[in-house]
Structure 1
Amino acid sequence: MTTHDPDHAETPAPPLTRRELRALRESGVLPVVGAETTTVVVPQEPERIESADTSGAPEVPSVPTAPPTIDLRAPLVPEPTPSDVLTARAGRNVPVAVGVGVGLVIALVASLFLRKEVFGLFALATVAGALIELRAALARQSITLPVLPILVGAVGMFVSAYLAGPEALLVSFVLTAGGVVVWCALDGGGLRVLRNATAAIFVAAYVPFLASFLALALAADDGEWRVLIVVVLVVACDTGGWAAGVTMGRHALAPSISPKKSWEGLAGSTALAVLVGSILVPLVLDATWWVGALVGVLTVVAGLVGDLGESLIKRDLGMKDMGDSIPGHGGILDRVDALLVAAPVVVTALALAAPAL
């Protein structure tokens, strides 16, 4: 509340004299010239408001603060959801990757137990897709891959392995290697032939030859179960490694080759593969649990070699993925790289530890 003291009431300022008016006009303070006698009221200081508080301390008027400004030009970034965080750490769209992966496994198992020939067609179609991806990848380095003779050799290797065993598989591979060399020689000359032929022989060994070990396993009476063991163990390695790597991965396994792989992921792969192997192998084959555990460990080692090997190829070619034909996974070869190397290791281990009846 404001109080006024009548004894200290302020009196109005006296009128100015002519001399004072003239000085004000000359200084510019009084720009408008009026009559001879003009009253100029000098502004007084604002009336001080004293607080009603008996302490006698003057009340300091509060200065209103300006409300915070919001730059409407800046985009509003929503808070990341747990799914976004998981996708960022995994480096791919996790829901899509899981859905597509489950669908592929179901299709593979269905073809496997429907008829062996259906699985053979499924496997050869996968090999053909991987060959097409490799042709496009090698073309970045001006290497021409003869897909047609390699694909013909792939059919020959798969069928001969299924019908006549490992010796026939080896003969088919040698014939395929010779065929691609002749094909490349007829296509040109000089160092280009040597480079293309070398790449073709490597691809023929890397994709169709290794994949044909599944045909060797499939030829047995319980071949469906042996192939299923290979596929399930590789899936267990991938799943355990991915889950442990995303949630606990801190120490890089091979940063110069594959930065996202970690020692924690390798431990997760080993744990789940050993668990699945020790249960699945004695369940479907005449083998003990420790044989299944050992096969699980071998699958982890072979799968890791396959993953890192394909990563080296992609790094040399300057690529992140071999393709984009499988949503959430990349290319076909990105999905079967571990399976290609694990197949001969697991099939051979099962043939030695639990021979087909």
Structure 2
Amino acid sequence: MTTVSDQGERESAAEPDGSEEPGKKPSRAGRDLPAAITVAVALGAAILGSLFTVRYLFIGIIAVAIVVGTIELAGAFRRAAGVRVSLIPVLVGGQAMIWLAWPFGQQGAVTAFVVTVIACLLWRLPSGADGYLRDVSASVFAAAYLPLFASFAAMLVPPEDGVGRVLSFMIVVVACDTGGYVAGVLGGRHPMAPTISPKKTWEGFAGSFTAGVVGGALSVSLLLDGHAWQGVVFGAAIVLTATLGDLMESLIKRDLGIKDMGTTLPGHGGLMDRLDSLLPSAVVSWLLLTVFVPV
């Protein structure tokens, strides 16, 4: 679950204090572009391969991605702020949310989430009162932000037209990221949120919006037999949630004083740095496609 870029306007290639790696000139894209493209193509091939063979394998890809993302997030919290996420309950409960969303839908995912919250409250008890609220809050946030949101992507798979639903979701996210990358790198001049993500520009957002709306109109009408206007609404909504997802993770990283959540993906940073736009978009995708194209 990844894309080539999120508007080509990630956090600066420099460290948070503004220093750059000595002897290395950053690209205008702010990343190792060949490595980023290679990783994106490989992951895209894995996603397409799962969808066009046994589509339920896509749920397995989601599950693995959430394990890696959760470990990255918990590690970033611990290293940067001394916050201890209850990792075992969040990992186990996260898998339950994703896999129970397959046969039982939102009821299965929400039930697993509630049980996970209770487990996090109990897991932290033996460590005493110092930092209890802080650590439990971080654990509940991690459980909601990653596996609960990701369970909505898993819920796109089971319907007969599940491949079309997943592809529509992925096509729009890739289209808005790629459109934003091109527009942002080539013509970005006006910062969108300079105190949060300095390299995001309104020109990049315009590129994202245009590409996302076109991608939505085409995918919903051609893959799901929906109306073009539904695809336009779908595309616009995904662009907004993907952009907000990027900005929210940027705020988290700035609060922690870090550049990337991890180093799992060459040219991308951590896997969490690729999931930021996908996670909230999965929720909105499921909601809108459920309304526009009922099962």
Both proteins in one fold, TM over 0.5: yes
1:308 maps to 2:247: yes
For the pair 1:231 / 2:170, whether they are aligned, the reply is: yes
Cα distance in 2 between the residues matched to 1:225 and 1:284:
5
| Structure 1 unaligned spans of 5+ | 1-83
Looking at structure 2, the residues matched to 272 and 242 of structure 1 have their Cα atoms a distance apart, in angstroms, of 11
Is 2:133 aligned against 1:170?
A: no
- Supply the AA of the counterpart residue of 2:155: L
The answer as to 2:124 corresponding to 1:184 is yes
- Match runs of 1:1-150 below 5 Å: 88-139=27-78, 140-150=80-90
Q: Mapping of 1:171-320 within 5 angstroms?
A: 171-186=111-126, 188-320=127-259
Aligned-partner SS, 1:259:
strand
Matched residue of 1:165: which SS? helix
Amino acid at match of 1:141: A
- Alpha-carbon separation, structure 2, partners of 1:115 and 1:107: 12
Distance 2:225 2:153 in 1: 19
Question: How big is the shift at 1:307?
Answer: 0.2
* Cα distance, 1:290 vs structure 2: 1.2
Q: Which has the higher contact order (CA 8 A, sep 6+)?
A: 2
The TM-score with structure 1 as length reference comes to 0.74
- Tell me if structure 1 keeps the 8 A contact 2:215–2:235: yes
1:99 offset after TM fit, Å?
2.1
Instruction: Report what 1:25 is aligned to.
Output: none
Structure 2: gaps of 5 or more residues: 1-23
Task: Give the corresponding residue for 1:76.
Answer: none
SS at 1:239's partner residue? helix
Q: How many residues align structurally?
A: 271
Partners in 1 of 2:258 and 2:171 — Cα distance? 28
Correspondence 1:156 to 2:96:
yes
Distance 2:289 2:225 in 1: 10
Deviation at 1:262, TM superposition (A): 0.2
Report how far residue 168 of structure 1 moved. Answer: 2.0
* Amino acid paired to 1:185: L
Quick one: which amino acid aligns to residue 202 of structure 2? W
User: Which structure is larger by alpha-carbon Rg, 1 or 2?
Assistant: 1
Tell which deviates more after alignment, 257-266 or 286-295. 286-295
User: Hey, what does 1:355 align to over in structure 2?
Assistant: 294
TM normalised by structure 2 equals 0.89
C-alpha distance after superposition, 1:259-311 (max 9, x if no partner):
01000000000011111111111101121111111111001000011000000
Distance 1:112 1:354 in 2: 19
1:20 aligned partner: none
* Worse-superposed segment, 217-226 or 316-325: 217-226
Deviations 1:118-142 (A, max 9, x none): 2222111100100111111001211
Q: Which runs of 4+ in 1 moved over 2 A?
A: none
| Cα distance in 2 for residues equivalent to 1:152 and 1:117 | 20
- SS at the partner of 2:131? helix
How far does residue 117 in structure 1 lie from its aligned partner after superposition? 3.4
3-state SS of 1:116 partner: coil
